[in-house]
């Protein structure tokens, strides 16, 4: 029981319950105003109907007096004065003696006001007298006579009392139901919030795999939970990447640093003196440049994954730009024994980071030159740019050994180098940077079989496609392959 009261108290203290109670109060206030106006209008209508009827009857009785005199008037009043009827009459002579009617006296309210008034009278019913409410007006019929005519309005009063009671009961029920509904809604939201809080605490405790449960019914809370889960997946992915990068740095950079130290130490022990020191420093600088290059690549990937794209977008012809970048690598490809083919579709304008897309193209061409077999029949590298399934895309294909399907997802991660490529110079960050550029443009990287060889496809988002460019110009890209 105590736990239930605690849950109710917790739900009642929430903002949701407060808003529900405020909404119920506003609804009740509005309903009270509407019902009050309707009740007032109904009461006025009934009153007007009674007064209209009394005035019409007063004119008829005045005509009876004028036409037939006191006798005719007395006869008519006597005929109308039915016991327990709704019509009330009192006819008296100049001395106040009753001549006819079903009232036993002139109502003092009417006598005091000298015009129409509301009064109460006793009506026999079931052996007992009951107090009824009535409305009466005095009628001037002349001849010194006093005539009072009225109507019993007890039914109207009973109706008004019933409306008032129904109104109060209805408002009471609405208040209770509204507050209970507010408690139920608050409790539902509190339960969902408790789930979110519990999940958050587990995540803060280090379990990044936890996700906020959804009800499956849709709605704002499920939408919020879905967005939070996507954010948590992104955070978990970044944290996993950070751990992986840390491990890879410790593993892959330990050997170059040891070699750097050993090279410097060997130079110091070399008996040739100054000449050996110079050679050692030159080798040390070369190895340090490789390390700096690796760290620069890591910083660039980190910026790509964290920075917004909108601040650095340009509009340019994707095919023309890809051709310009590829032509820069044509001499290097020819020197390595490759035939570089460029197939681009002109007029495909995109909005994106020109420098980063150029960097990605350069990395793909450099990888194709580095890991393919040049100088053999069919040694070719093909660069294509255009639309694939309505999306802007750049692909670089070669006829090298390719990558097994099982390893294609793995090579997009940082510092991953397959065994076949460990004898080649490199850091294992080239494809990681291409993947980061794709994510920055809300796209993806696909590794496909080039039959033989490998084809890497950089797909950009449809949102990057521009139908009518605002600017067209040639900008010389500054590129360096990772």
State whether 365 and 416 are in the same domain. yes
State whether 240 and 298 are in the same domain. no
Angle in degrees, CA 265, 271, 273, rounded to 5: 85
State whether 393 and 332 are in the same domain. yes
State whether 242 and 262 are in the same domain. no
Residues 276/277/278/281 CA torsion (nearest 10 deg): 120
Continuous segment of H or E residues that includes residue 387: strand 380-388
Q: Per the domain annotation, does 178 fall within a domain?
A: no
Query: What does the DSSP assignment read for 312-353?
Result: G-EEEEHHHHHHHHHHHTHHHHHHTT-EEEEEE-TT-EEEE-
476 contact partners, CB below 8 Å, separation of at least 6: 324
* End-to-end CA separation in angstroms for the chain: 68
State whether 239 and 260 are in the same domain. no
C-alpha 364/C-alpha 397 separation (Å) is: 9
Domain final residue, candidates 262, 279, 304: 304
Contact 315, 470 (CB under 8 A): yes
State whether 64 and 48 are in the same domain. yes
How many folded domains does the chain comprise?
4
Q: Per the domain annotation, does 269 fall within a domain?
A: yes
Contact 183, 11 (CB under 8 A): yes
Q: Per the domain annotation, does 198 fall within a domain?
A: no
Q: Nearest CA to 359 among 285, 440, 465?
A: 440
Q: Per the domain annotation, does 188 fall within a domain?
A: no
pLDDT in tens, the chain (482 residues): 565 566 556 556 666 667 777 777 887 788 888 888 887 888 788 888 888 888 888 888 888 888 888 888 888 888 888 877 788 888 888 787 888 888 888 888 777 666 778 888 887 766 567 888 888 888 888 878 888 888 888 888 888 888 888 888 888 888 888 778 777 777 777 777 888 888 888 888 888 788 888 877 777 778 888 888 888 887 887 777 667 666 666 666 676 777 778 878 887 777 777 777 788 788 888 778 777 776 766 666 666 655 555 566 788 898 899 999 889 888 888 888 888 888 888 888 988 888 888 888 888 888 888 877 655 655 788 999 989 888 899 999 888 777 877 777 777 766 555 544 444 555 567 787 788 888 888 888 888 888 788 889 999 888 888 875 544 444 444 443 33
Query: Domain range for residue 215?
Result: 211-250
Q: Per the domain annotation, does 471 fall within a domain?
A: no
CATH number of the domain enclosing 102: 3.30.450
78 contact partners, CB below 8 Å, separation of at least 6: 100, 101
Quick count: other Cβ atoms within 10 Å of Cβ 103? 20
C-alpha 231/C-alpha 224 separation (Å) is: 11
Query: What does the DSSP assignment read for 64-126?
Result: HHHHHHHHHHHHHHHHH--TT-SEEEEEE-TT--EEE-S-SS--HHHHHHSS-EEEEEEEEET
State whether 231 and 286 are in the same domain. no
Q: Per the domain annotation, does 241 fall within a domain?
A: yes
State whether 77 and 96 are in the same domain. yes
- Cα-Cα-Cα-Cα dihedral sign, residues 456, 392, 237, 210: negative
State whether 346 and 456 are in the same domain. yes
| Both tokens assigned to 132 | 């009824």
Q: Nearest CA to 354 among 230, 441, 256?
A: 441
State whether 300 and 313 are in the same domain. no
Q: What is the pLDDT of residue 86?
A: 84
State whether 328 and 263 are in the same domain. no
Tell me how far CA of residue 431 lies from CA of 327, 388, 412, 456, 468, in angstroms: 21, 20, 5, 9, 31
Contact 332, 367 (CB under 8 A): no
Q: Nearest CA to 263 among 252, 245, 276?
A: 276
Q: How many C-alpha atoms does 462 have within 13 Å on its Cβ side?
A: 3
Q: What is the pLDDT of residue 472?
A: 44
State whether 294 and 317 are in the same domain. no
pTM: 0.47
């Amino acid at each position: 029981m105590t736990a239930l009261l605690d849950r109710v108290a917790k739900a009642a203290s929430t903002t949701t319950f407060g808003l529900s109670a405020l909404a119920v109060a506003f609804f009740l206030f509005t309903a009270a105003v509407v019902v009050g106006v309707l009740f007032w209008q109904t009461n006025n209508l009934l009153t007007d109907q009674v007064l209209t009827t009394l005035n019409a009857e007063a004119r008829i009785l005045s005509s009876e007096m004028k036409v037939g005199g006191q006798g005719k008037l007395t006869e008519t009043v006597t005929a109308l004065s039915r016991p327990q009827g709704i019509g009330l009459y009192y006819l008296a002579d100049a001395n106040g003696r009753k001549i006819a009617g079903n009232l036993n006296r002139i109502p003092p309210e009417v006598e005091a006001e000298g015009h129409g008034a509301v009064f109460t009278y006793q009506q026999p019913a079931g052996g007992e007298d009951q107090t009824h409410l009535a409305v009466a007006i005095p009628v001037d019929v002349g001849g010194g006579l006093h005539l009072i005519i009225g109507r019993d309005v007890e039914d109207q009063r009973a109706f008004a009392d019933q409306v008032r009671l129904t109104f109060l009961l209805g408002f009471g029920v609405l208040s209770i139901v509204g507050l209970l509904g507010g408690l139920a809604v608050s409790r539902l939201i509190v339960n969902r919030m408790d789930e979110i809080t519990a999940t958050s605490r587990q995540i803060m405790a280090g379990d990044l795999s936890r996700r906020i449960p959804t009800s499956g019914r849709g709605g704002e809370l499920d939408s919020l939970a879905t967005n939070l889960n996507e954010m948590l997946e992104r955070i978990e992915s970044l944290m996993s990447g950070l751990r992986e990068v840390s491990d890879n740095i410790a593993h892959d950079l330990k050997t170059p640093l040891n070699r750097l130290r050993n090279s410097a130490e060997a130079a110091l022990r070399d008996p040739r003196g100054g000449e050996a020191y110079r050679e050692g420093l030159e080798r040390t600088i070369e190895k340090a440049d490789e390390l700096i290059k690796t760290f620069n690549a890591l910083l660039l990937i980190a910026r790509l994954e964290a920075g917004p794209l909108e601040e650095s977008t340009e509009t340019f012809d994707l095919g023309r730009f890809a051709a310009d970048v590829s032509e820069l690598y044509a001499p290097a490809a020819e020197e390595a024994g490759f035939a570089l083919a460029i197939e681009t579709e002109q007029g495909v304008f995109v909005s994106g980071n020109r420098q980063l897309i150029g960097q990605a193209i350069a990395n793909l061409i450099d990888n194709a030159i580095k890991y393919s077999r040049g100088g053999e029949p069919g040694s070719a590298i093909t660069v294509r740019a255009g639309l694939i399934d309505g999306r802007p895309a750049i692909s670089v294909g070669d006829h090298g050994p390719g990558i097994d399907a099982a390893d294609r997802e793995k090579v997009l991660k940082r510092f991953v180098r397959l065994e076949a490529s460990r004898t080649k110079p490199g850091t294992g960050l080239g494809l990681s940077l291409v993947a980061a550029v794709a994510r920055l443009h809300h796209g993806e990287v696909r590794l496909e079989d080039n039959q033989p060889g490998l084809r890497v496809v950089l797909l950009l988002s449809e949102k990057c496609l521009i139908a009518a460019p605002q600017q067209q110009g040639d900008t010389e890209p500054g590129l360096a392959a990772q």
